[in-house]
Each structure stands twice: as C-alpha cells, then as structure tokens.
C-alpha cells in the first residue's frame, strides 16, 4: 500500500541552526501539507502546497519556514534558524482528491 515517508525520524539540533525535513508523498497525490504537533498539544496546520506553490499557510509559517518540491517526488520543509519553540513532531501529509489526508509517521525535531 502506498505511504507517505518522512526522514529523518528524529533530529536534534542547536538553536539557530538550519533544519531540513524531508517527505516523499504518495506518487499520484496533488496536494501536500506540513503539520506540527508540539508535545501534548493539538496538531497544527503549517502550510499546504499545490501546483508547485503555497496555496495556504498559517500564522506559524513565518519567514523562517519554507517549503520546496525540488524534484517532483520530495517535499521539504526548511527551518532557517531554529528556535527552542520549534521543537515538535512535524507531519507531512498528502492527498489527491479523495478528501482524506494520508500522513507520514512524523519527524521529531528537538532544538537545544
């Protein structure tokens, strides 16, 4: 069964460092998303991406964040200068038009 894959599963970084989280969505999907979940809190929307551009983003998704689909298969989330409060589980998701989001297993980011 096709699935969304994310790497790395866990990354530890120093505050101020750049981080890139990678996702491979399901191959025939058209819409791509990043969500995050701070420990003990709700799953929060960051950004959606369609047709090689951002279609919607939340207030969380400020200038420190960027997304890219560099090669038609990967979908990356970059955090330019990480802060302590960026520590969270980051989930990538994708969908075609079925109305169902398919999630990856997440990348846990720990900022020290």
Partner 1 sequence: AQSVTQLGSHVSVSEGALVLLRCNYSSSVPPYLFWYVQYPNQGLQLLLKYTSAATLVKGINGFEAEFKKSETSFHLTKPSAHMSDAAEYFCAVSESPNTGNQFYFGTGTSLTVIP
- Chain centroid, CA 14 distance in Å: 19
Reading phi first (left if > 0) and then psi (alpha if -120 to 50, else beta), residue 71 is in alpha
Nearer to partner 1, 14 or 53 (CB): 53
Per-residue interface string for the shown chain with partner 1, residues 39-68, x marking contact by CB under 8 A: --xxxxx--x-x----xx-x----------
Q: What is the DSSP letter of 61?
A: -
Return the range that interacts with partner 1 (CB under 8 A); candidates 19-27, 67-75, 76-84, 90-98: 90-98
How far is 19 from 77, CA to CA, in rounded Å? 8
Answer yes or no whether residue 95 interacts with partner 1 by CB under 8 A. yes
Nearer to partner 1, 18 or 56 (CB): 56
Answer yes or no whether residue 70 interacts with partner 1 by CB under 8 A. no
DSSP string across 63-111: TTEEEE--SSS-EEEEESS--GGG-EEEEEEEESSSS--EE---EEEEE
**Residues 14-43 contacting partner 1, CB under 8 A:** 30-31, 33, 35, 41-43
- Residues in the site for partner 1, rule: CB under 8 A? 4, 30-31, 33, 35, 41-45, 48, 50, 55-56, 58, 91, 93, 95, 97-106
């Amino acid at each position: 069964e096709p699935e969304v894959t994310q790497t790395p599963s866990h990354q530890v970084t120093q505050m101020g460092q750049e981080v890139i989280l990678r996702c491979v969505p399901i191959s025939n999907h058209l819409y791509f998303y990043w969500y995050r979940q701070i420990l003990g809190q709700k799953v929060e929307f960051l950004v959606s991406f369609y047709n090689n551009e951002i279609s919607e983003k939340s207030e969380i998704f400020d200038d420190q964040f960027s997304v890219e689909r560099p090669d038609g298969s990967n979908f990356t989330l970059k955090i330019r200068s990480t802060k302590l409060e960026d520590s969270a589980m980051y989930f990538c998701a994708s969908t075609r038009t079925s109305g169902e989001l398919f999630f990856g297993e997440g990348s846990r980011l720990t900022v020290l």
